[in-house]
Amino acid sequence: MNILLIGSGGRESAFAYKIAQSPLTTQLFIAPGNAGTTQYGKNVALKVTDFEGIGALCLKEGIDLVLVGPEEPLVKGIHDYFLNNEKLKSIPVIGPQQAGAQLEGSKDFSKQFMQRHGIPTAAYATFTKDSLDEGLAYLETQSLPIVLKADGLAAGKGVLICTTLEEAKEELKAMLTDAKFGEASSRVVIEQFLKGIELSVFVLTDGISYKLLPSAKDYKRIGEGDTGLNTGGMGSVSPVPFADQTFLDKVESRIVRPTIEGLKEDGIPYKGFIFIGLMNTAGEPYVIEYNVRMGDPETESVLPRIESDFVDLLLGVAQGNLADKTLQISQKTAATVMLVSGGYPGHYENGMPISGLENIKESTVFHAGTVQDGDEVKTAGGRVLAVTALKDTLFDALQQATADAGRVFFKGKAFRRDIGFDLID
C-alpha cells in the first residue's frame, strides 16, 4: 500500500516510524514532514491545509490510505473534501469528518455531547457577547478557582484558570468583548475546576468498534517540578502507573463506550483517533477535553508500545473491520524527553545546527521541529527532538531517555530532567 501521512511534528515522526515497519507498506509519503521523516519515507512540501495539493498528490502517487496527524486539517474538513470529490472519495482518510472534529474544534459542542450522553465532566455554562452580563452573574455563583475556555481552537492557549473573581470577570470580558483569542473566544465555556492528576487515554475507532490504546501522561510546563509556562508538551510516559486496571475499567465503561455509542446515536461518523484528556479525581475519571487526533509527545511514548502491525490496524479502521484485528501492547514502559529551543515557549531562534544524533544508541529519536539544510540538520521549531526509551521499568526508561537527551547538542537546547520521576514511589 502507498500511504500519505499529513503533518510535520514528533507525532508524525512516530507514526512514520511505525508505518515504515509494516510489511503492508510499499511507499510512505509525508506532507510536509521534517528532517527525520525522510528515514521512513518521502517528504512532499505541502501545507497540511492545502487540500487541493494533497488531493492531487494522492492521485499522482496512487495513494491507498491517508493518515491525518494534526487537528487543523480535520477541523477544516480534509476528510469531507475527499468524500465530496469523485476521484478522491474511494481513498480512505483516517481522521474524523468535520462533524466529529467538532469534539475538539468546539468546547461547547464537546460539553453538550458529554452532557447528552452522561459522560462525567466538570459542570459548565456557555456564554457569548450577548450574554456577557449573565456570564458575569454566573461567575459570582461559582467557587474558585474557575476555568474559562475559548470555545474554538486557540493554539493550546485558550484555557485560563482564574484564582480570583475579579480576574475571572476581567478575562471573561477580554475574551467575549475584546476577542482576546479572536473568533475562538466569541463563545466561552465557564467550567468548574477539577482537582486531581491528569492523564490521557487514546482510542482508535472505525465508528463501529474501538481499540483502547495505551494510556500516557504528558508534562506540559516548561520548567522542572511542573513550573513556568505551558508548552505543547515537554515529555511523556506510557503506561501511567496510577492508572491501574480498576481505574481504566471505569474509563472504559463510563467514558470510552458512551463516547463511541454517543457518536453513533448522534449520527456522527467517526474513523480515527480520539484522545481523551482525563482528570483522576480521588480515583474517579472526568473528561477535561477531547481531541480528535493523537497527542504530541504522547504518541512518541504510545506507539513504540504497540507491537501489532500498525498499518493493519489503520486498515481495520478504513474497512470497518477493526473488531477483527488484534492489538498487542508491550508490557514495557516508554519514556519520552523533548528537546526544545532556548526561549520556547516564548521567542526562540531557528536554524541552529544539531549534532550528536549518532551518539544515541539505545533510545529512538523522533524529529519534531527540524529541517535538512545540505549536510546539516538544523532546528526549525520550538520543540525540536523527542527522545524515547523503551525499558522494562519506568525508572530505567526515564534514566535512559534523560541520559540520551544529554547526548545531542544545539545552541540553546533545553529539556526537563525530571520527566516522569514524580511517578516513582
Q: Which of residues 35-64 bind ligand AMP (CB under 6 A)?
A: none
Is 9 a residue that touches ligand GLY (CB under 6 A)?
no
261 contacts 281 by C-beta, under 8 angstroms: no
* 104 touching ligand GLY, by CB under 6 A: no
296 binds, among ligand GLY, ligand AMP, none (CB under 5 to 8 A by kind): ligand GLY
Q: What is the 3-state secondary structure (H, E, C) of 207-275?
A: CCCEEEEEEEEECCEEECCCEEEECCCCEEEECCCCCCHHHHHHHHHHHHHHHHHHHHHCCCCCCEEEE
**Residue 289 contact partner, candidates ligand GLY, ligand AMP, none, CB within 5 to 8 A by sort of partner:** ligand AMP
> What is the closest distance, in whole angstroms, from the C-beta atom of residue 271 to ligand GLY in the complex?
20
Return the residues of window 191-210 that contact ligand AMP according to CB under 6 A: 191, 193-194, 198
Q: Identify what 295 binds: ligand GLY, ligand AMP, none; CB under 5 to 8 Å per kind.
A: ligand GLY
Separation of alpha carbons 229 and 254, rounded Å: 32
| Residue 171 backbone dihedrals phi, psi, to 5 degrees | -65, -40
Q: What is the length of the chain?
A: 425
The smaller minimum CB distance to ligand AMP, of residues 199 and 314, is found at 199
Contacting ligand AMP within 282-321 (CB under 6 A)? 288-289
With a CB cutoff of 8 Å and minimum separation 6, the contacts of 403 are none
Please identify which residue in the block is written with the cell numbers 467557587: 143
Please report whether residue 32 would count as binding ligand AMP according to CB under 6 A.
Answer: no
Give me the torsion for CA of 71, 72, 77, 79, rounded to 10°.
-50
Backbone angles phi, psi at 306, to 5 degrees: -85, 115
Label each residue of 64-120 as H, E or C.
CEEEECCHHHHHCCHHHHHHCCCCCCCCCEECCCHHHHHHHHCHHHHHHHHHHCCCC
Q: Which of the stretches 99-107, 191-199, 290-298, 341-349 binds ligand GLY when contact is defined by CB under 6 A? A: 290-298
* Residue 295 is a binding residue for ligand GLY (CB under 6 A): yes
Which position among 95, 120, 135, 233 is part of the footprint of ligand GLY (CB under 6 A)?
Answer: 233
Nearer to ligand GLY, 191 or 300 (CB): 300
Q: What is the spatial distance between Cα 347 and Cα 270, in angstroms, rounded to a whole number?
A: 37
| Cβ proximity to ligand AMP, 183 vs 307, nearer residue | 183
Residue 145 or 342: the one with the smaller Cβ distance to ligand AMP is: 145
Binding residue for ligand GLY, selected from 64, 218, 309, 404, defined by CB under 6 A:
218
Closer by beta carbon to ligand AMP, 143 or else 328:
143
317: CB partners within 8 A, 6+ apart? 92, 94, 204, 205, 206, 271, 272
Beta bridge partners of 284: 281
DSSP class of residue 194 equals P
Q: Is 300 in the site for ligand GLY (CB under 6 A)?
A: no
Owner of C-alpha cell 468546539: 106
Nearer to ligand AMP, 50 or 289 (CB): 289
The amino acid occupying position 27 is Q
Using CB under 6 A, which of 151, 298, 300, 404 touches ligand GLY? 298
Looking at the Cβ atoms of 122 and 322, the one nearer to ligand AMP is: 122
Residues contributing to the site for ligand AMP (CB under 6 A): 122, 147, 159, 191, 193-194, 198, 277, 288-289
Residues contributing to the site for ligand GLY (CB under 6 A): 218, 232-233, 291, 295-296, 298
